[in-house]
């Protein structure tokens, strides 16, 4: 309203309005990003539910059976390094997307 009656400061008001419109656009973009992130998180949560149920069943049994192990692990790779340490990696099945590598210190010198 002030812009209508104050022509001398019209440029100031225009820049202020433009700044606020840019802030609104940025906030709308952030809201959109948050909604997309929430959607992706919910999809990932649903995908992990079956794996979580399987792990709960295995833990409730107290020990892991061969069948359960085969459902969880696709392959196990063991590599002995020159310093006699071992690199053990597990390629997991299902919703496990990362491989796990365990590096054992050279404590088994007497075996090799």
Interacting residues of 56 by C-beta distance below 8 A, sequence separation 6+: none
Alpha carbons 12 and 10: distance in angstroms, whole number: 5
Q: Return the pLDDT at 94.
A: 65
pLDDT tens for the chain, residues 1 to 112: 445 566 777 888 888 999 999 999 999 999 998 899 899 888 888 877 877 787 787 778 877 788 878 777 888 899 898 888 888 888 877 665 554 445 545 544 444 4
Query: Which token pair is 32?
Result: 């959109």
In whole angstroms, give the CA distance from residue 62 to residue 5.
Answer: 80
What H or E segment, with its residue span, contains residue 73? strand 73-80
| Domain boundaries along the sequence of the chain | 1-63, 73-112
């Amino acid at each position: 309203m002030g812009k209508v009656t104050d022509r001398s400061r019209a440029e100031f008001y225009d820049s202020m309005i433009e700044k606020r419109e840019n802030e609104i656009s940025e906030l709308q973009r952030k809201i959109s990003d948050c909604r997309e992130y929430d959607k992706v998180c919910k999809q990932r949560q649903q995908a992990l539910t079956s794996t979580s149920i399987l792990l709960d069943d295995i833990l409730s049994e107290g020990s892991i059976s061969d069948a359960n192990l085969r459902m969880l692990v696709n392959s196990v790779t063991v590599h002995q390094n020159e310093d006699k340490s071992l690199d053990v990696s597990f390629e997991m099945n299902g919703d496990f997307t990362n491989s796990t590598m365990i590096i054992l210190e050279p404590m088994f010198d007497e075996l090799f």
